[in-house]
Structure 1
Amino acid sequence: MPDTIQTQRAATSILQKLHPYAFSVALFVLVLFHAVGFWGLLFSNDPEYFQTLTPMNLLLTYALLFAFHKRWNSTFILFAVVVAVAGFMAEVVGIHTGLLFGNYSYGAALGTKLFEVPLLIGLNWLMLVYTTGHIANYTSLHWLAKALLAALLMVGLDFFIEPVAMRFDFWSWNGDRIPWSNYIGWLGLSLLLQVYFQRTAIYKRNRLAPFVYLVQLVFFLGLYLFI
């Protein structure tokens, strides 16, 4: 028993010493993995292999982001579930009806699917709503203006994602043409979810959130410029 207690104390002491460096380490890992993915997709001899790593990269990003979220109470869990499910179901409707976004279909690069939509898509909606909502909260705007700003940030990122997604088998559009209905649908759904973000009483001070959005923006902007 004394040995066990000493081991626990030693582990706690190590964690306390490492805590001040947690943010820097997380940011380094986030940038590193995106940089490797960027190089692999554009300059390696096997871009298809790096496409298969996309789900792992996304899961790592989600894990790092939400590791820095504080106050995992029932309100936050409800928010996370509602946003993820709403985003996923909107995609299901979009895939099978052409409503909301237009006529498109998902490829294999984003992993396991349910109703022809990758399961990761719901988490991706959650990540985007959460990160852009945090960025908007750095302003002193009215809550509704913050919601609109965050929704526009989401649509702005999607503008660069769309051509990249088609190039690397994330998803494809009928006729290889991205319709305006996609951006209109994105703006409408994003705004609704951002209103929810602004009005719900969750903790909204995740210091990694703006960097997750920025790294993704740089990643997709870079790919957009090279493809």
Structure 2
Amino acid sequence: MERPQNMSIAPRIAVGVIILFHAVGLVGLSLPATRPLFLQVVPWHLLLMLLTIVFGHYKLSGRFKAFILVVFWLGFFAEWIGVHKGWLFGNYAYGTTLGVKMFDIPLMIGVNWFLLVYSAGVTMQRSGLKNGFVRVVTGAGLLVLLDVLIEPVAIKFNYWQWIAGSIPLKNYACWFLVGAVMLYVFELFNFKKQGIAAPALLITEFVFFGALNLVIGLWPL
């Protein structure tokens, strides 16, 4: 793939960074001896992925920066409603793994929402699906499937904890709705077709959390 002139990071470099650091993280979190250290660097890993994706975006315009802020704060506000009101997702509380909090919500959760929504949006953009509604619904469905893999890992590693001890179905329904709203916002911004970094991140996340679930199942933590 030819490198667009306005990209700060070549697509192959961005994909390499994404795969390399997820692979290292997978090994580090799988081994009891290194797990505490790797849990401490989870927020830094998210920041690295943020930089990789942002500087892998074609044409770093003011519109793109506005999109990042919109999705960040939409995600943060949705989580605030979930934690403090229980209207979204269910009754849960965040642990310490995701780092610094504001109003009991880790700031990194807004970063995570951006990474996931942008990755799903670009994946749908590149999918060939012509209908915007179908792209939004399909992308939101992908985010729910990914959350199915994330939840057991997040609970084990103290990203967050469910007050009732089990994951409510409401969580997945709200993931779909919140994801669909943010993907609709992605559609409204109508970005030019992007490179492969964001889809690579989405695929890598599926592999990463799927593999961690296998590790958890084979070797209880």
Task: Provide Cα deviations, 1:60-80, integer angstroms capped at 9, x if missing partner.
Answer: 111111111122223222222
- Correspondence for 1:161: 150
Query: C-alpha distance in 2, partners of 1:123/1:206?
Result: 20
Secondary structure of the 1:87 match is helix
TM-score by length of 2: 0.89
Structure 2 unaligned spans of 5+ = 1-6, 217-221
Q: Are 1:211 and 2:167 an aligned pair?
A: no
The answer for the alignment partner of 1:182 in structure 2 is 171
User: What is the identity percentage for the equivalent residue pairs of Structure 1 and Structure 2?
Assistant: 37
SS in 2 for 1:58: helix
Q: Is 1:29 aligned to 2:17, yes or no?
A: yes
Offset at residue 200 of structure 1 (A): 1.9
Counterpart amino acid of residue 214 in structure 2 = L
Question: Cα distance, 1:31 vs. partner?
Answer: 1.4
Q: Is residue 163 of structure 2 the alignment partner of residue 199 of structure 1?
A: no
**What is the distance in 2 between the residues matched to 1:121 and 1:68?**
21
Count of aligned pairs: 209
Structure 2 SS opposite 1:70: coil
Q: In the alignment, what sits opposite 2:122?
A: 134
TM-score (norm 1): 0.87
Check the 8 A contact 2:117/2:179 in 1, yes or no. yes
Residue 113 of structure 1 and its aligned partner are, at CA, apart by 0.4
State the alpha-carbon separation in 2 of the partners of residues 181 and 64 from structure 1.
32
Q: Hey, what's the Cα distance between the residues in 2 that align with 1:78 and 1:45?
A: 41
Q: Which runs of 5 or more structure 1 residues have no equivalent in the other structure?
A: 1-18
1:146 paired to 2:130: no
Which digits, 9 at most, give the CA deviation of each residue in 1:95-125, with x for residues without a partner? 1111110000111111100010110111111
Which residue does 1:72 correspond to in 2? Answer: 60
Deviation at 1:44, TM superposition (A): 4.2
Secondary structure at the aligned position of 1:175 is classed as coil
SS in 1 for 2:10: helix
Of structures 1 and 2, the larger Rg is shown by 1
Q: State the Cα distance separating 1:219 from its structure 2 match.
A: 0.3
**Distance in 1 (alpha carbons) for counterparts of 2:133 and 2:101:** 34
- Following superposition, the deviation at residue 93 of structure 1 comes to 1.0
Larger fraction in helix: 1
CA distance in 1: counterparts of 2:171 and 2:99, whole angstroms:
22
The amino acid of 1:160's aligned partner reads L
